Amino acid sequence: MEIPYNVEERPDTGLYNGKLGIWLFLASEVMLFGGLFSSYILLRTGDPNWFKPELSVPMATLNTMVLISSSVTMVMAWASLRLQDFKKFRLFSAATFLLACAFMVIKGFEYNTEFSHHLYPSSNNFMATYFTMTGLHGLHVLGGMVVIAYLWGPGSRMWKTEPERFTNRVEITGLYWHFVDLVWIFLFPALYLL
């Protein structure tokens, strides 16, 4: 028996199954990160002795550029499939993966610099929230990388048998990836600039 609405949109919701699923998941993610942002604001405004050490703004700036670029390559990958160009899809998704790798490497250098300055999650409230939020975000980037790598490699076999369903899979991965990038867009000014 074939599962309905895997490819075509369900008439009442206007969404196919995968897209409905990813939006429900992203709604839960909004609550997760929303809770963390709220905690950060309450901790910061409630502490008269709030201490924020110097962080590497240039490295965070570079990471912001890297993530914005990766969202562009992600959309290009999906658009290539819509235009039936599988070779370009592979090129753009490889670029997205490499940009995600670059983000993680830069973040690793940043953490290393902080540890060398004896800044740990136990140092103060700011560093605790900083490592929690950036660490959780990093895990989300890692999760996205696994999915992008799968769709680039073994998962791409579906293109030959069910091209529309494969294109939908790339679209929902793109939605997730944009959400992860959007979280960083809010993390960057909140943690590094303000």
Partner 1 sequence: MSLKAFHVLFIIISILLTALVGVWGVHQYVVHESGSSLALGGVFFFSGLGLVVYLLWYLPKLKEL
Tell me which residues touch partner 1 (CB under 8 A): 23, 57-58, 61, 64-65, 68, 71-72, 75, 78-79, 82-83, 171, 174-175, 178, 181-182, 185, 188-189, 193
In terms of CB distance, is 152 or 188 closer to partner 1? Answer: 188
Closest contact distance (angstroms) between CB of 183 and partner 1 is 11
In terms of CB distance, is 123 or 155 closer to partner 1? Answer: 155
Closest contact distance (angstroms) between CB of 24 and partner 1 is 13
In terms of CB distance, is 35 or 189 closer to partner 1? Answer: 189
Closest contact distance (angstroms) between CB of 164 and partner 1 is 14
In terms of CB distance, is 41 or 57 closer to partner 1? Answer: 57
Beta carbons within 10 angstroms of residue 97's beta carbon: 21
In terms of CB distance, is 1 or 89 closer to partner 1? Answer: 89
CA–CA distance, 13 with 20 (Å, rounded to integer): 8
Closest contact distance (angstroms) between CB of 110 and partner 1 is 16
CA–CA distance, 181 with 25 (Å, rounded to integer): 16
CA–CA distance, 10 with 149 (Å, rounded to integer): 29
Short-list 148, 149, 125, 129, CA closest to 137: 129
Closest contact distance (angstroms) between CB of 121 and partner 1 is 26
3-state secondary structure 132-172: HHHHHHHHHHHHHHHHHHHHHCHHHHHHHHCHHHHHHHHHH
CA–CA distance, 99 with 67 (Å, rounded to integer): 7
Q: In this structure, what is the dihedral angle of CA atoms 59, 117, 43, 132, given to the nearest 10 degrees?
A: 60
